[in-house]
């Protein structure tokens, strides 16, 4: 298995490159439009063929590069099957492993941040990796106040699907805003101030409902754009239009 953790700094998003050493196939989990050239260069440097992009959910904080990468490389776009997006080539769902050469990703249905969110588990003989998207973050979690979010569902997803994984399982989140890169299930159980240390579901729901977070700066164009696999929508404000400029080259 080949593994790279790549950061898009404007939205503090982690894109994960997962490749197979034997077949030289690779996927990108949650790739970002702003860093598409960087990601293509990393694939080239590693001698990998991009097989697919794979999303944990329809993002509200950045545009995916799924469509752009499909145009540039001929890869497929993969999304949670339940979304039924017209642009998606592959639908993934819990119980159906997604293969990248000899590497298997196991989708885990983890609603709460959105109603269709999936995490992805890779269970190797050496180590377990879970890509938690915007469900479980390091010492935090995704917000639950838009896109059919539900604090109760997120509590259940994290406790039943993620905290039930072995303690040593490595946690690779969809974002980190403080330069943390990796945690483990044991660490989040012990230290996560929202979800660890025996906090009850009622506590968690009250906490999340009381956060009073600012309106997401990109949501109005990011959600419709991402529902079209990262097409740049017409309503994108000028200051966010930069990464869209090259979209017709795709």
Q: Tell me the window of 63-71, 92-100, 166-174, 203-211 that interacts with a copy of itself (CB under 8 A).
A: 166-174
- Considering the complex, state which of residue 125 and residue 214 has its C-beta at the smaller distance from a copy of itself: 125
Return the axis-axis angle of helices 36-46 and 66-73, rounded to nearest 10°: 50
Q: How is the beta sheet containing 128-133 ordered, strand by strand? A: 98-100, 103-109, 118-123, 128-133, 170-173, 183-184
**Residue 46 touching a copy of itself (CB under 8 A):** no
**Minimal distance, residue 126 CB to a copy of itself, in Å:** 5
Distances (CA, A) of 188 to 32, 128, 149, 192: 26, 15, 21, 5
Does the footprint of a copy of itself cover residue 167 (CB under 8 A)? yes
Total of residues contacting a copy of itself (CB under 8 A): 23
In angstroms, the CA 222 to CA 218 distance is 6
Q: Which of 35, 56, 88, 184 binds a copy of itself (CB under 8 A)?
A: 184
Residues 121-140 that bind a copy of itself (CB under 8 A): 124-127
Kind of pairing between the strands at 90-92 and 98-100: unpaired
Q: What are phi and psi of 234, to 5 degrees?
A: -65, -30
> Could you tell me the smallest distance in angstroms from the CB atom of residue 25 to a copy of itself?
15
Residue among 140, 153, 169 at smallest CA distance from 110? 153
Q: List the structure tokens of 242.
A: 């930069």
Nearest approach in angstroms of CB 54 to a copy of itself is 19
Secondary structure letter of residue 56 according to DSSP: S
Do 30 and 56 meet the contact criterion of CB atoms below 8 Å apart?
A: yes
Question: Is 42 a binder of a copy of itself (CB under 8 A)?
Answer: no
Binding segment for a copy of itself (CB under 8 A), chosen from 3-11, 28-36, 65-73, 210-218, is 3-11
Which of 84, 181, 202, 241 is in the footprint of a copy of itself by CB under 8 A? 181
Interacting residues with a copy of itself (CB under 8 A): 1, 3-5, 21, 124-127, 167-168, 170, 178-184, 186-187, 190-191
């Amino acid at each position: 298995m080949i593994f790279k953790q790549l950061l898009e700094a404007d939205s503090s998003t982690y894109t994960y490159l997962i490749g197979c050493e034997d077949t030289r196939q690779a996927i990108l989990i949650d790739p970002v439009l702003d860093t598409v050239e960087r990601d293509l260069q990393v694939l080239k440097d590693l001698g990998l063929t991009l097989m697919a992009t794979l999303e944990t959910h329809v993002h509200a904080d950045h545009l995916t590069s799924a469509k752009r990468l499909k145009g540039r490389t001929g890869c497929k776009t993969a999304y949670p099957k339940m979304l039924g997006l017209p642009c998606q080539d592959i639908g993934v769902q819990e119980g159906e492993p997604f293969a990248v050469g000899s590497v298997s990703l196991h989708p885990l249905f983890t609603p709460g941040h959105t109603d269709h969110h999936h995490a992805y588990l890779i269970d190797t003989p050496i180590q377990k990796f879970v890509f938690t998207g915007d469900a479980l973050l390091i010492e935090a979690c995704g917000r639950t106040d838009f896109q059919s979010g539900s604090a109760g569902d997120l509590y259940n997803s994290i406790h039943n699907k993620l905290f039930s994984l072995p303690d040593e399982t490595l946690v690779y989140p969809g974002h980190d805003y403080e330069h943390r890169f990796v945690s483990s299930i044991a660490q989040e159980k012990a230290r996560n101030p929202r979800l660890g240390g025996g906090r009850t579901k009622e506590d968690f729901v009250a906490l999340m409902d009381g956060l009073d977070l600012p309106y997401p700066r990109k949501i109005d164009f990011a959600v419709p754009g991402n529902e079209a696999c990262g097409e740049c929508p017409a309503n994108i404000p000028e200051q966010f239009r930069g990464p869209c400029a090259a979209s017709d080259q795709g």
